[in-house]
Amino acid sequence: MRVVLRVQRHWRVVTARKRFANQAAVSYTGSTANKQTFLLHWQAKYIIANNLPANDSHWDSDDPGWLGKASMSKRHRFLIRRNLHWRWFNALVFGMLDDNEMVYPECHCCPDALSEIRMMKEAALTWVKGVREVEGWSENVGLFFHVYGHNSVNSLHMHVVDLDFVGPSFHCQEFKNLSVDHVIQVLEEDRTGFPSISRLHRFPAFLGFFHDETSTKPPERSGRRIWSSHWHCSSASSSSSSLITDHH
């Protein structure tokens, strides 16, 4: 029964992420629906989506009802992956698991994590460059993730923000904005310490634990380096993310 419940829970989570992606592709694309071609060869991997029209129109509102809800800038878009596997659901788990469901130990990341985030950055900047004349984007573009715990949607989307036209909602949520460059920096550091095959573990389906089946002790979660919310004095150009180890 416990296994059945875990399977059902997993299915609900996957279904919810797919539903969000479908909404983004159908409803949220709005003004970007006919501009996907500016992604060029990245169209096979990513989608560019815009915010809800009401959120976009209130980007410069300081009304408390719109703070944190309205778009963070006059031009605010989202880069979404077409592949919704949970290993990419949030920056928190980048590099923890590879395509073969092998779990990487603390302070290591799987080889494709770094390349994937670099591709996301390149794809977003490629799209902005393509629509710059049409939409009026500045050269000052910020790319951000919201780490789990600070995110509002459990499906990966990278915020693409024109930093020359930020509004009150940007400043309200600035502490959430983890720069893609800081993500790349951490993954680069973890990539340098590539573990031996003997240190990799098969991921137990739906559990997320390292567990010795012969042990009588309950399974323990593996410690992982994660990005904390220590961005209290950050800015779009000079934020700093602290790293902590989670042993919960």
Share of the chain above pLDDT 70, in %: 64
pLDDT at 85: 83
Q: What is the pLDDT of residues 119-176, one digit of tens each?
A: 999 999 999 999 999 999 999 999 999 999 898 888 899 999 999 999 999 999 999 9
- The answer, yes or no, to whether residue 47 has pLDDT greater than 70, is yes
pLDDT at 22: 59
pLDDT class of 218 with cuts at 50, 70, 90? very low
Summarize the confidence of residues 36-64 as an average pLDDT.
95
Query: Which is higher by pLDDT, 156 or 244?
Result: 156
Residue 63 CB neighbour total at 10 angstroms: 10
pLDDT at 6: 58
Summarize the confidence of residues 104-130 as an average pLDDT.
89
- The answer, yes or no, to whether residue 61 has pLDDT greater than 60, is yes
Q: What is the mean pLDDT of the chain?
A: 76
pLDDT class of 49 with cuts at 50, 70, 90? very high
pLDDT at 174: 94
CA angle, corner 30, sides to 24 and 36, nearest 5?
Answer: 80
DSSP letters for 120-170: HHHHHHHHHHHHHHHH---S-EEEEEE-TTT-SSSS-EEEEEEGGGB-HHH
- b/e code 97-128 from CB counts within 10 Å (16+ = b): bbeeeebbbebbbbeebbebbeebbebbeebb
206's tokens = 């739906």
Taking the model in full, what pTM does it have? 0.71
Alpha helix stretches (DSSP H) within 1-110: 2-23, 53-57
Return the closest-CA partner of residue 175 out of 120, 226, 236.
236
Residue 28: DSSP 8-state: I
pLDDT at 153: 87
